[in-house]
Amino acid sequence: MMDSFTFPGLTTRVVFGAGTMARVEEEVRRLGHDKVMVLSTPHQRGDAERLAASLGGLTAGIFAGAAMHTPVEVTEEAVDAFRTSGASAVVSLGGGSTTGLGKAIAVRTGADQVVIPTTYAGSEMTDILGETAAGEKTTRRSPDIRPETVIYDVDLTLSLPVGLTVTSAMNAIAHAMETFYAPDRNPVIVLMCRDAMVAFRDGIPRLIGDPRDRAARTQALYAAWCCSTALGYVSMALHHKLAHVFGGSFDTPHAETHAILLPYTTAFNEAAVPDLLAPITEAFGGGSA
């Protein structure tokens, strides 16, 4: 038990389940908007176009240029497109790159955000924005960065390749790992991260065997939500700082960078706080985290 803590409460609305992308229009209108810009990476442009078509007259435009580590030059282009379109909100469909672009637009324009994650990366529940300029990645936090609504649709993860499923899950586990020893942790998010470890432990091996196992996908996406929520309410330490340095300086892929670093950063920190990292050992077994 913690003798003292501060928990600010959860401010982002979460819609979770299978088929929930059908509720995008409802959620946009709930926020009071009648024109949105749909965001994606070039790879997911087709998905963005289908979403935009389903929204009909709500769609003011599509920007399918999101890139890893949120380069400021891409953001500037997207902000110009957003302002020209007449939209007042963004709908971000994809992983961390698209979510990051939506945040960058929002903090510059005041736009509301509806985020639809398609990976387990976990930035959608946070007030953190990492941006890259001239080979350097910097981060900042602000209430204006945190999305208003996140729609988790299990169906959108059914086609996630096994390799990306595993590395993306490791990315999320990194959020939990650093939550367990964060100086500003609280019992709510620690319990969420404990639950996430068990859900990943049970779900990921099944997904390696059958990537379209809907029950396992539900477990994994639930775990990702738990870890993302934790990331948004505590300060991150060595692991995330290293990931940002590598990503910003060498343009390394985000999820894979987290996956490679995780065993080493966990072992380094476990030497100092083995008791705080015990939930990882309890979930996965073994003599140490």
Using CA atoms, how far apart are residues 122 and 240, in angstroms rounded to an integer? 13
Instruction: Compute CA distances 28 → 35, 38, 65, 147, 222, whole Å.
Output: 9, 12, 22, 12, 23
Residue % of the chain over a pLDDT of 90: 84
Last residue of some domain: 122, 157, 192? 157
Q: Is 153 left (phi over 0), alpha (psi -120 to 50) or beta?
A: beta
> Do 32 and 93 reside in the same domain of the chain?
yes
> Do 71 and 207 reside in the same domain of the chain?
no
Question: Would you state the pLDDT for residue 208?
Answer: 97
> Do 147 and 26 reside in the same domain of the chain?
yes
244-273 residue pLDDT tens: 889 888 889 888 999 999 999 999 999 999
Average pLDDT score, the chain: 95
Q: Is residue 228 part of a domain?
A: yes
C-alpha torsion sign, points 214, 220, 226, 229: negative
> Do 85 and 122 reside in the same domain of the chain?
yes
pLDDT for 189 beyond 80: yes
204-244 residue pLDDT tens: 999 999 999 999 999 999 999 999 999 998 998 999 989 98
Q: How confident is the model at residue 1 (pLDDT cuts 50, 70, 90)?
A: low
> Do 143 and 191 reside in the same domain of the chain?
no
Last residue of some domain: 157, 189, 204? 157
105-114 residue pLDDT tens: 999 999 999 9
Question: Would you state the pLDDT for residue 10?
Answer: 85
> Do 109 and 200 reside in the same domain of the chain?
no
Q: Is residue 289 part of a domain?
A: no
Q: Is residue 8 part of a domain?
A: no
> Do 145 and 170 reside in the same domain of the chain?
no
Question: Would you state the pLDDT for residue 39?
Answer: 99
> Do 22 and 153 reside in the same domain of the chain?
yes
> Do 17 and 126 reside in the same domain of the chain?
yes
CATH number at residue 145: 3.40.50.1970
> Do 119 and 218 reside in the same domain of the chain?
no
Last residue of some domain: 157, 181, 207? 157
Q: Is residue 4 part of a domain?
A: no
CATH number at residue 207: 1.20.1090.10
> Do 119 and 176 reside in the same domain of the chain?
no
Q: Is residue 123 part of a domain?
A: yes
Q: Which residues is 130 bridged to in the sheet? A: 139
Per the document, the length of the chain is: 289
Q: Is residue 179 part of a domain?
A: yes
Q: Is residue 1 part of a domain?
A: no
Domain that holds residue 128: 13-157
> Do 83 and 124 reside in the same domain of the chain?
yes
Interval 8-37 mean pLDDT = 96
pLDDT for 2 beyond 80: no
Total tally of structural domains belonging to the chain: 2
